[in-house]
Amino acid sequence: MTSSSRRRRRRETRSSAGENRLWPALAVVVAALAYAVLPENLLVGPRLAIPVVELALLGALIVTNPRRLVRQTRWSRGMSMVLACVVIATNLVALAMLVQTLTESKPGGMPLLLAGMQVWLTNVIGFGLLFWELDRGGPVARHTVARDRMPPADWRFSQDENQDTITEVAATSSERSNWRPEFIDYLYVSLTNSSAFSPTDTMPLSARAKALMGLEATAALLTALLVVARAVGALGQ
């Protein structure tokens, strides 16, 4: 290995204060609160059962990495995926119950609109968490493993392909600055996918990424077309 290759390898593996725990933790808290204030007929079990489970899983993960994501075990990564899946699964059940409510009764416009917004928000957070955990081996691996040892990417960000543009744009590219995606990047992917019902500037590469984005977009489309549209119509009557 040449000296320039060694320097590049050191630079690539060096970032590693690790990603900040704060933002994904806050996202989980927001998702738990959004679920806890859903109408009674959209809940799975007692009102606080699911939020308590989500916060307990989050607490266990915080013990592993209190401030920065620098350590990863099979247990901690599996627990993080379970947490994201719990957020997504319970929210999809709430969406199904919400759609069923539309077919069986005529709920008031404002409660229906608020419930639809809560389900949509939780959808964005849950899939953002799962995207963040899946891509390139997870948040710890992305900041501690050299690029040639990372698992294949599930998503292609704009920073991954702008190294040949003008200087001030290329300066932030993955190749030149060693940029690596963090939670806010995956949350943005989830937000735009739930808003546009399709990828925008970040493209899914793997079959699982395409399947997950398709599922998220379908849930968001149902929320927008069936729930929010019905709620707005009820408010206008």
Mean pLDDT along residues 25-43: 94
Q: What is the pLDDT of residues 79-125, one digit of tens each?
A: 999 999 999 999 999 999 888 887 776 666 677 778 888 999 999 99
- Binning pLDDT at 50, 70 and 90, where does residue 236 land? low
Q: Please, are residues 231 and 99 in contact by the beta-carbon 8 Å criterion?
A: no
> Partners of 19 in the beta sheet?
69
pTM of the model: 0.88
Q: How far apart are CA 222 and CA 15, in angstroms?
A: 41
What distances in angstroms separate CA 50 from CA 83, 92, 159, one per listed residue? 11, 13, 37
pLDDT value for 7: 45
CA proximity to 206, closest of 158, 153, 159: 153
Q: Looking at the predicted structure, is the pLDDT value of residue 5 above 60?
A: no
User: Is 10 exposed, middle or buried (CB count within 10 Å of its CB: 0-12, 13-18, 19+)?
Assistant: exposed
Mean pLDDT along residues 63-68: 90
Q: What is the pLDDT of residues 209-227, one digit of tens each?
A: 999 999 999 999 988 887 7
Q: Which phi-psi region, left, alpha or beta, contains residue 46 (left: φ > 0; alpha: ψ -120 to 50)? A: beta
Q: Kindly report the CA angle at 226 between 220 and 230, in degrees rounded to 5?
A: 130
pLDDT value for 10: 45
Which residues are CB-contacts of 120 (< 8 A; sequence separation ≥ 6)?
194, 220, 223, 224, 228
